[in-house]
């Protein structure tokens, strides 16, 4: 389990209105927990034995009980119509992410006074009262269901809760300033505070000083050996730069441990060119890849919101992520020879692009991963100063390309698009893959270019658009400001209708 993201434990509290029989809510709650445990296990859920029956005092007791049980997320379950005041007070006073769901009727034979719950009606009033109290609670797309449906809804809540809990305990540590003539990733930090994320901004000089102080650290040999094992080097074949990279990795991990302060989780972002090569005499890409693969995102080029996006992806997917440039188009001859008409979906040329970074994608996500020098930087520096990238074609498979970004005027926007990395040789360098997203050409023009997103995008390895979208809404991104790749025939707001 990644210790840099939260582990969620949901306390489910059944609520019942006094004019309905309480056992109706209790038995339905038990059925939900049984269904959840059978399908997903018992680790994520706690069944609160206290049923709220039109009572603020019961609400207090339930709140105390789930806190004592170590719950950091709440599910308010309307087993029947539910007490509007006490159920929403429970959500208001619970310090953590919360959701509301409701019970469907079980059978046409149970619609009498003892068996009908009217929770379909109660969910409307719960929503109204949550708004009155300014309480942010997640309500699923289909919030009223039987035990199995509700169990699935609770499980769908876990990535949303992980994101909310993670950001509220996250510190991003940046080492800058950004490279000259590189304003693309410069964004106001105000929205970080709005998201309850802490930020510590340090200088590249601070990082270099800390690196120098790690020279001769007795732990370097063990980290170097781990790097050798990861990349398949023998002692005779191991490159000299591994010692420097190991020293640098310890510098970053020690800094993170010593500077987290009161926060539990951390993400990093560093300036990686051009002075980095002059002073450190290597590039940090491989170390970034290793830490990101272990759940500590390290974004390139002081991209603070890139690091934040990567961290959100870890919380959603619980798997390693990466950060890539939406980099270059696919040549027509490559498209005709290797893509056109060769996949289940007949991608157009404009659906395809190459995602690239110098070498920050972890080795498990790359075919033929190997260490090399950064070829772009070598145009202006000696090649031996540019050692330290990890290169290879990114593994084919499903992906979600996404980003959360503060705009220049401190507005919060995001985008998400599901697609795939194609099994097509890139014939290029760096950590790179041929990506395909349906209607990417229009998405690129009207969402990414049109809404002024920078060239960096985060990547989750799998289709997580549904969970990501709900998590973004929950943390406060307005739905109309979450972009996606519109299908053919569904115009963007500013798309020319005559094109």
Look at residue 111 in the predicted model and tell me its pLDDT: 60
User: β-strands 482-484, 412-421: how paired?
Assistant: parallel
As given in the structure block, the two tokens for residue 447 are 């969402």
**Higher pLDDT residue, 355 or 409?**
355
pLDDT in tens, 37-50: 999 999 999 999 99
Please report which confidence band the pLDDT of residue 370 belongs to, taking 50, 70 and 90 as the band edges.
Answer: very high
Stated as kind and residue range, the H or E segment containing 352 is strand 352-357
Mean pLDDT along residues 465-475: 98
Mean pLDDT along residues 318-326 = 97
pLDDT bin (cut points 50, 70, 90) of residue 1 is low
pLDDT at 380 over 90: no
Per-residue pLDDT at 264: 97
The residue ranges of DSSP E strands in 358-486, in sequence order, are: 366-373, 387-394, 397-406, 412-421, 431-436, 456-460, 482-484
| Ramachandran quadrant class, 489 (left: phi over 0; alpha: psi -120 to 50; beta: rest) | left
pLDDT given at position 118: 83
Displacement of CA 452 from its chain's centroid (Å)? 21
**Which structure tokens are listed for 338?**
């290797």
pLDDT at 33: 98
Angle between helices 220-231 and 285-293 (to 10 degrees): 80
What is the C-alpha separation between 143 and 338, in angstroms, rounded? 45
Contact of 118 with 126, CB cutoff 8 Å:
no
Average pLDDT, integer, range 63-87: 95
CA distances from 218 to 83, 194, 223, 357, 428 (A): 62, 41, 10, 32, 38
First and final C-alpha spacing in the chain:
49
Cβ atoms of 272 and 185 closer than 8 Å: no
The pTM assigned to this predicted structure is 0.96
pLDDT at 315: 98
Average pLDDT over residues 354-367: 95
Ordered by where they begin, the domains of the chain are: 10-167 (3.40.50.10940), 169-484 (no CATH)
User: pLDDT (tens digit, 9 = 90+) per residue, 202-236?
Assistant: 999 999 999 999 999 999 999 999 999 999 999 99
Give the integer Cα–Cα distance in Å for 304 and 400.
20
Q: Give the model confidence (pLDDT) of 243-299 as tens digits.
A: 999 999 999 999 999 999 999 999 999 988 888 889 999 999 999 999 999 999 999
pLDDT in tens, 70-79: 999 999 999 9
Supply the pLDDT for residue 3.
Answer: 92
- Start-end of H helices in 232-274: 241-259
Number of H helices, E strands in the chain: 15, 19
Which tokens hold the place of 141? Answer: 């797309």
* Strand, helix or coil for residue 26: helix
């Amino acid at each position: 389990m990644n210790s840099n993201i939260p582990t969620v434990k949901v306390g489910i509290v059944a609520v019942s209105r006094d004019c309905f029989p309480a056992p109706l809510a209790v038995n339905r709650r038990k059925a939900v927990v049984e269904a959840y445990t059978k399908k997903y296990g018992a680790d994520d859920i706690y069944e609160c034995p206290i049923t709220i029956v039109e009572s603020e005092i019961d609400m207090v007791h339930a709140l105390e009980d789930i806190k004592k049980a170590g719950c950091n997320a709440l599910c308010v379950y309307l087993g029947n119509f539910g007490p509007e005041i006490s159920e929403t007070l429970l959500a208001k006073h619970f310090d953590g992410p919360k959701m509301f769901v409701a019970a469907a009727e079980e059978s046409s034979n149970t619609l009498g006074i003892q068996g009908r719950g009217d929770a379909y009606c109660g969910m409307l009033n719960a929503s109204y009262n949550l708004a009155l109290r300014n309480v942010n609670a997640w309500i699923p797309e289909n919030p009223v269901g039987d035990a199995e449906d509700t169990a699935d809804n609770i499980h769908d809540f876990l990535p949303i809760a992980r994101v909310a809990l993670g950001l509220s305990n996250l510190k991003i540590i940046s080492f800058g300033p950004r490279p000259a003539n590189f304003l693309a990733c410069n964004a106001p930090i105000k929205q970080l505070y709005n998201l309850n994320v802490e930020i510590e901004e340090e200088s590249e000089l601070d990082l270099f000083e800390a690196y120098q102080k790690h020279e001769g650290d007795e732990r370097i040999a063990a980290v170097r050996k781990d790097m050798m094992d990861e990349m398949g080097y023998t002692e005779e074949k191991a490159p000299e730069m591994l010692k420097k990279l190991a020293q640098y990795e310890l510098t970053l991990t020690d800094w993170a441990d010593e500077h987290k302060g009161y926060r539990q989780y951390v993400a990093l972002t560093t300036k990686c060119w051009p002075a980095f090569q002059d002073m450190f005499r290597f590039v940090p890409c491989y170390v970034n890849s290793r830490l990101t693969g272990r759940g500590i995102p390290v974004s390139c080029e002081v991209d603070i919101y890139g690091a934040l996006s990567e961290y959100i992806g870890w919380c959603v997917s619980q798997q390693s992520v990466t950060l890539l440039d939406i980099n270059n188009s696919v040549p027509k001859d490559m498209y005709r020879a290797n893509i056109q008409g060769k996949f289940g979906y007949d991608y157009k040329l404009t659906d395809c692009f190459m995602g690239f970074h110098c070498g920050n994608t972890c080795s498990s996500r790359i075919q033929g991963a190997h260490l090399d020098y950064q070829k772009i930087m070598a145009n202006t520096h000696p090649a031996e100063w540019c050692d330290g990238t990890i290169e290879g074609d990114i593994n084919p498979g499903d992906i979600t390309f996404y980003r959360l970004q503060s705009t220049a005027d401190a507005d919060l926007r995001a985008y998400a698009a599901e697609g795939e990395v194609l099994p097509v040789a890139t014939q290029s360098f760096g950590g790179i893959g041929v990506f395909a997203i349906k209607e990417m050409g229009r998405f690129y023009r009207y969402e990414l270019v049109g809404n002024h997103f920078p060239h960096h995008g985060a990547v989750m390895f799998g289709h997580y658009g549904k969970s990501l979208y709900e998590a973004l809404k929950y943390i406060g991104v307005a739905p109309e400001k979450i972009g996606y790749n519109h299908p053919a025939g569904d115009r963007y707001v500013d798309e020319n209708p005559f094109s």
